[in-house]
Structures are given as C-alpha cells and as structure tokens.
C-alpha cells in the first residue's frame, strides 16, 4: 500500500522536476549572460579646460545596468566624479536601466587638479549573475590633458589704420595650436590663417569694417584652444570715418517692363500685378537671397595667398556708381525703396573684356539673381573679388586664374540698366571698398609690409 502511494507521488514529481529544471536552466541561461556593459565617451579627443563637459553613455542591452562609476586619475590619486547604483528590477522583470547618458562637468581647479596628463576612468556593471552575482564589468580608460591656461596671443603687426567700409589685416602669434582663432569686428568674426608663410603658430587675419562701421567699432583678436579656453586681445587701431554718396534712382514703367521678366522664375507668383510690387520683390527679397548665397560661397577660402600686388581695375573704364552709395528708388514721384550699392560700377565699351583682378581660384561662375551672370574669385585667406552683370563668362567653378586672364565680358544681365561691370571686393561675408585693393601704395604699406614684418608707419 505504502509503496503504491510513493509511486503515485513520484509520478507527479518527475514532470515537476523536469519543468523546474527547464525553468531554472532558462533562467540561468538568461541571467548568466556574459556581455559586459558598453561605455562611450565624447568628445573623441578629450582635453579638459577650466569648465569641461564630458558626455558618457553607458548601456547594457541584456541584463541592464547595476552600477556606474566615473573617476579621474592623476598622480596616483583617484578623484570620484560620479557614482550611481541601480536596483535590480527582479528576477523575472525585463525592465531596468538599459542605457543612460551623463553629462559630467569637470572643473579641474575646483577638484585640485593641476594642468597635465590625466586619465578618465569609467566603470560599469550589469545585473548578470556572473562573477558571483557581481555582474559583468565594463571598463574604459581615456587619456586626457588638463589644460586650464588660455592661449597667449601676441600681436606682431604694429600699425592698424583702417577706413570705414575698408579692409584690415592683423598678424599675430599663438603659443599653442587652437581650434578657432581670428578677429572679431563688432558682431562679425573673420578667421585667421596659420602657417603664413611657414610658421604654424604665426597667423594672419584679414577683416572688414562694414560701410556702417566707423570709429568706435570694437575689434579684437580671439583664440580658443582644444580645451575651450578662450583668449581675447585688443590692439591699437584707428578707424577713419567715411561718408558715402546719396543717389536717386528713378524707376520708369519702360525699365520695369524690360527687366522684370528676367526675374519672374526667381520671385515666383504671377507675372501680372503692379510692376512696382514685383520690382520690390526683386530689390528686397531676391537681393537678400542673393546676398545669403554669396555668404555661403565665401564661407570657405583657400588657406594660402593666391594673389600678388595690386588688384586690376577694368581697363579704360569710367566709374559710374560708387561703393556704399545710398540709393533712394523713386517711382511716379514717390520714394518706394532704399538700398546700399556695395560695389563699384565701371563702364567701358559694350561687351568689354573683363580681366581677373588678381590670381585665384573661381569660387562661382553662373547666374546670381540681381547680379546676373557673375564670377566670384577666391584669392585665398578670405579675400574674394566679384564680377557682375556679365554678358558671358569663360571660366568654371574650381578653375585657377592668373591676374589679367580674360574671364568674361561686360553686359547688362541681372538688375542692370545698361552695359557695365559691377565690381566688388569681399572679405568673407562683408563687401569692402575696392579702391584700397586697386591702390599699390595701400597694398604695399598696409598689407605687404605687415605680411613681411617690415612695417614702418
Ligand atoms: Zn552696381
């Protein structure tokens, strides 16, 4: 009787045990996984300035995170930056922390860390049952440099006589290589170029004063090193105020009827409606759009000087409109608009050959809205010349040109009343007075002497 009872018990027990073994086996299979947490640190090249922020992402897809610890090691000391424990979500739960990103602030001076090499160490564990329930260890060490000293800027050029609407040049030396450096003029930033001519720490920065920036405009050299330390240095300069001409442009129906069809596809909308409304779209919105295009085209420049000596002016030409002429547009006896003319208009014979003003590389050749058929030449170090309203052009983007090469012919394309060349000089994103660049004396005294280090007043 007894043995029969036992037998019945065993009959129940066997499948139960089998099931239990399957469950335990499956659980062990899941809980004994051996994949350690993943650790990522950004930025890739780490150097820590006065106030550094390091992004640390820790993830564990299988068991979830149980612990994260970040410390910085320097001279056999470990200084904790961060420590966090995560509770186990329970044996059967799938939830838990699979990924977490920390932004860790490191302020070396507050932590008592001197400048020099250091190691950032990140340790993480997961909720795996391996290692006697301590979890899989993830580990990452990253070599860093603590650098809380801003770069030193030494201005080498001596005299900075500037004109409102003109170009300036400053030559300077940095004590360390920098991620960003240049000259700030008001709100505008003009990058400096290192290695001029062969010294990587010697920088030249061409900058511009807009036609609206007269005496009192703040100008300073700036440099930011890899650790984010910023230095800013002023230098002595003198800005000469300039007054610019005022001009009135009368708009006739005949002129508007003739030129508006050129822009119809660029301003959209119907080709009916008042002529003056359509003209204002061209003169305001298309003008602004074309300026933005020019800003994009001049954002990158060749890193060496491609030009030499004074820039060429269109031969045998007469000056019509001047740089920074303030123009009132009058239609049917009323002022309807105002704009500033940021180039010089030169008229020669119709379809006169246009020479490249100096050596460079064609940054753009094509149709550019109100400017019509236009060529933009990059002369390197942020200096560009621009030729507009051409009847044709003989160069392509990317082509190298020498001073005097015929690049096209004058015309009246775009917003032009008659055959002429609209010539502009551009320093990065700013139109400047071309007169300085045509002047051999200005080039010699204000540019070449600075570049050679032979300034004498
Ligand atoms: Zn013009």
Ligand 1 centroid to residue 321 C-alpha, Å: 6
Contact 82, 142 (CB under 8 A): no
| Cα–Cα distance for residue pair 267/272, rounded to 1 Å | 12
Any idea which fold 38-146 has? Immunoglobulin-like (2.60.40)
Ligand 1 centroid to residue 420 C-alpha, Å: 8
Do 38-146 and 153-240 come out as alike in CATH topology? Answer: yes
pLDDT digits (tens, 9 = 90+) for 218-232: 999 999 998 889 999
The answer as to CATH 2.60.40.650 being correct for domain 153-240 is yes
Q: How far is CA 195 from CA 109, 204, 221, 222, 305, in A?
A: 33, 9, 17, 17, 11
Using DSSP bridges, classify how beta strands 238-240 and 161-163 pair: parallel, antiparallel or unpaired: parallel
Helix (H, G, I), strand (E, B) or coil at 193: strand
Ligand 1 centroid to residue 298 C-alpha, Å: 19
Ligand 1 centroid to residue 52 C-alpha, Å: 49
List residues bridging with 373 in a β-sheet: 367, 390
At 269, the pLDDT band (50, 70, 90 cuts) reads low
Ligand 1 centroid to residue 311 C-alpha, Å: 18
Ligand 1 centroid to residue 28 C-alpha, Å: 81
Ligand 1 centroid to residue 370 C-alpha, Å: 10
At 194, the pLDDT band (50, 70, 90 cuts) reads very high
Ligand 1 centroid to residue 345 C-alpha, Å: 5
Ligand 1 centroid to residue 404 C-alpha, Å: 21
Percentage with pLDDT > 70 across the chain:
96
Ligand 1 centroid to residue 24 C-alpha, Å: 85
List Cβ neighbours of 246 (8 Å cut-off, separation of 6 or more).
325, 326, 327, 328
pTM of the model: 0.81
Model pLDDT, residue 130: 84
Ligand 1 centroid to residue 341 C-alpha, Å: 6
Sheet holding 38-42, edge to edge: 38-42, 52-59, 99-106
Ligand 1 centroid to residue 297 C-alpha, Å: 19
Rounded to 10 degrees, the C-alpha dihedral 104/105/107/108 comes to 20
Ligand 1 centroid to residue 219 C-alpha, Å: 29
Ligand 1 centroid to residue 415 C-alpha, Å: 9
Ligand 1 centroid to residue 243 C-alpha, Å: 18
Q: How far is CA 361 from CA 312, 402, 427, in A?
A: 16, 9, 15
Ligand 1 centroid to residue 346 C-alpha, Å: 8
Model pLDDT, residue 4: 61
Q: Which residue has the tokens 């240095």?
A: 233
CA angle 416, 420, 422 (to 5 degrees): 75
pLDDT digits (tens, 9 = 90+) for 38-75: 999 988 878 898 888 999 999 998 888 999 999 999 98
Does position 1 have pLDDT exceeding 60, yes or no?
no
Ligand 1 centroid to residue 324 C-alpha, Å: 10
- Determine the straight-line distance between the first and last CA of the chain, rounded to whole angstroms: 124
Q: How far is CA 197 from CA 194, 202, 304, 305, 446, in A?
A: 8, 8, 8, 9, 17
| Cα–Cα distance for residue pair 375/392, rounded to 1 Å | 10
Ligand 1 centroid to residue 344 C-alpha, Å: 6
List Cβ neighbours of 179 (8 Å cut-off, separation of 6 or more).
224, 225, 226
Domain residue extents for the chain: 38-146, 153-240, 246-432
| Cα–Cα distance for residue pair 363/407, rounded to 1 Å | 13
CB atoms within 10 A of CB 365: 22
Taking Cα atoms as reference points, which of 149, 194, 148 lies closest to residue 50? 148
Ligand 1 centroid to residue 234 C-alpha, Å: 36
Q: Considering the domain 246-432 in this protein, what is its CATH number?
A: 2.70.70.10
pLDDT digits (tens, 9 = 90+) for 361-420: 999 999 999 999 999 999 999 999 999 999 999 999 999 999 999 999 999 999 998 999
Ligand 1 centroid to residue 425 C-alpha, Å: 12
List Cβ neighbours of 7 (8 Å cut-off, separation of 6 or more).
none
């Amino acid at each position: 009787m007894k043995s029969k009872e036992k037998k019945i018990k065993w009959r129940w027990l066997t499948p139960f045990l089998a099931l239990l073994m399957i469950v335990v086996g499956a659980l062990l299979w899941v809980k004994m996984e051996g994949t350690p947490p993943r650790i990522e640190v950004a930025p890739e090249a780490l150097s820590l300035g006065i106030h550094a922020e390091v992004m640390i992402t820790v993830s564990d897809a299988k068991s979830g995170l149980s612990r994260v610890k970040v410390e910085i090691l320097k001279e056999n000391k470990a200084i904790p930056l961060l420590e966090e424990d995560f509770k186990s979500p329970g044996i059967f739960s799938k939830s838990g922390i699979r990924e977490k990103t920390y932004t860790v602030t490191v302020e070396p001076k507050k932590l008592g860390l001197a400048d020099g090499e250091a190691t950032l160490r990140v340790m993480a564990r997961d909720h795996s049952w391996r290692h006697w329930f301590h979890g899989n260890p993830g580990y990452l060490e990253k070599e860093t440099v603590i650098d809380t000293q801003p770069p030193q800027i030494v201005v080498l050029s001596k005299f900075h006589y500037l004109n409102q609407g003109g170009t300036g040049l400053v030559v300077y030396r940095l004590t360390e290589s920098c991620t960003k450096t240049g000259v700030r003029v008001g709100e505008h930033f003009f990058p400096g170029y290192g290695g001029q001519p062969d010294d990587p720490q010697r920088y030249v920065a061409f900058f511009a004063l807009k036609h609206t920036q007269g005496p009192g405009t703040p100008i300073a050299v700036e440099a930011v090193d890899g650790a984010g330390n910023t230095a800013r240095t002023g230098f002595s300069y003198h800005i000469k105020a300039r007054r610019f001409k005022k001009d009135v442009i009368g708009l006739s129906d005949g002129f508007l009827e003739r030129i508006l069809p050129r822009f119809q596809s660029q301003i959209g909308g119907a080709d009916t409606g008042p002529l003056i409304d359509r003209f204002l779209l061209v003169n305001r919105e298309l003008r602004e759009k074309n300026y933005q295009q020019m800003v994009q085209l001049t954002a990158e420049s060749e890193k060496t000087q491609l030009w030499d000596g004074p820039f060429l002016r269109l031969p045998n030409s007469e000056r019509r409109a001047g740089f920074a002429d303030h123009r009132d547009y009058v239609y049917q006896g009323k002022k309807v608009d105002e704009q500033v003319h940021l180039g010089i208009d030169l008229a020669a014979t119709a379809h006169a050959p246009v020479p490249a003003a100096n050596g460079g590389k064609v940054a753009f050749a094509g149709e550019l809205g109100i400017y019509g058929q236009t060529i933009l030449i990059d002369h390197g170090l942020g200096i560009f010349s621009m030729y507009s309203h051409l009847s044709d052009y003989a160069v392509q983007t990317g082509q190298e040109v020498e001073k005097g090469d015929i690049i096209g012919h004058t015309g009246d394309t775009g917003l032009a009343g008659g055959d002429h060349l609209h010539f502009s000089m551009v320093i990065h994103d700013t139109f400047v007075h071309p007169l300085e660049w045509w002047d051999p004396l200005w080039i010699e005294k204000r540019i070449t002497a600075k570049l050679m280090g032979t300034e004498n007043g």
